Structure 1
Amino acid sequence: MWFQRFKKKRVKAGVLLYALLMAAVFSLLLQFYLHRQVAERRILKSSEDRLRAYALVQLAMGQETKEEKTADIHLKSGTVHLKWDAGFLYAKAEIHQESYDFVLPVSEEKESKKEKKEKKEKKEKKSKKEKAMPDLPSEESSSEEKKQADNSEND
């Protein structure tokens, strides 16, 4: 009789140990999942802030004046510091006490009038030389051109 009570206590202890083991495993899995979710949220937030900073830089580039080498532009969302140097734009955007740095290539749209005139004169000289010395195609080259034209039509 006494051994039946002892057997029941052993069974209760086994069930209790099994329940504790399953609770520990579930707790570890839940903790892993929650840490992963928090990490994903942080990554998403930092990516969103970086994208906002880039948008501010693009907006500031539209408002900039190229006569100055540096510019500070204060916007509602943050501040943008611009610096032009040798075909590149160095931009620093500050949002919520965090700063983001960008280096962007800038095309030189404004050429001096002298450079435009020089380019135009060079083009005119080339066209005059081509008109003065026209290259007459030889018999061989004209027959080759005909063959190539026939081949291209067949394709």
Structure 2
Amino acid sequence: MFTLLRRKVKAGILLYSLLMVAVFALVLQFYLGRVVAVEQKHQAQRASSQAYLMAKVVDKFAKEHSGQMHFDKGKAQYHIQGQHIHITVTLANQKEFQYQFHRNDEND
């Protein structure tokens, strides 16, 4: 009888430890998924900010009707139509961003 009780206790401890490992694995999986999602969001936001800054520089220094400017992080093509400038920024990782700004008389 004593041996039977001892085996039940060992089996209970084993089941409990397996349950705790499963719970820990689920929590870890959720945490790592969130970390990856936050990092991807950060990279997308950084790429968007770089492209926007490049477009603002092009808007400020563009003098011709159309042209292209090269930067360390990519290139920007622009085309001026009336009071608007259309800018397409292509980053080094081939992501494209398009912007349209209203041009004031001071930019011309």
Q: TM-score, normalised by structure 1?
A: 0.63
More strand by share: 2
SS of the aligned residue for 2:4 comes to helix
User: What's the Cα RMSD here?
Assistant: 1.7
**Rg comparison, structure with higher value:** 1
Unaligned runs of 5+ in 2: none
Give the 4+ runs in structure 1 shifted more than 4 A.
none
- The sequence identity of aligned pairs, in percent, is 27
TM-aligned CA deviation for residue 86 of structure 1 = 3.7
Select 1:33's aligned residue among 10, 31, 34. Answer: 31
Residues 70-81 of structure 1: pairs in structure 2 closer than 5 A = 70-81=66-77
Gaps of 5+ in 1: 112-155
CA offset at residue 62 of structure 1?
A: 2.6
Q: Which has the higher helix share?
A: 1
- TM-score, scaled to structure 2: 0.88
Q: Provide the C-alpha distance between the structure 2 equivalents of 1:26 and 1:49, rounded to a whole number of angstroms.
A: 35
Aligned residues: 107
Counterparts of 1:1-155 in structure 2 under 5 Å? 3-65=1-63, 67-68=64-65, 70-96=66-92, 97-109=94-106
SS of 1:108's partner is coil
How far did residue 110 of structure 1 move?
A: 7.8
**Is this contact kept in 1: 2:59–2:101, CA < 8 A?**
no
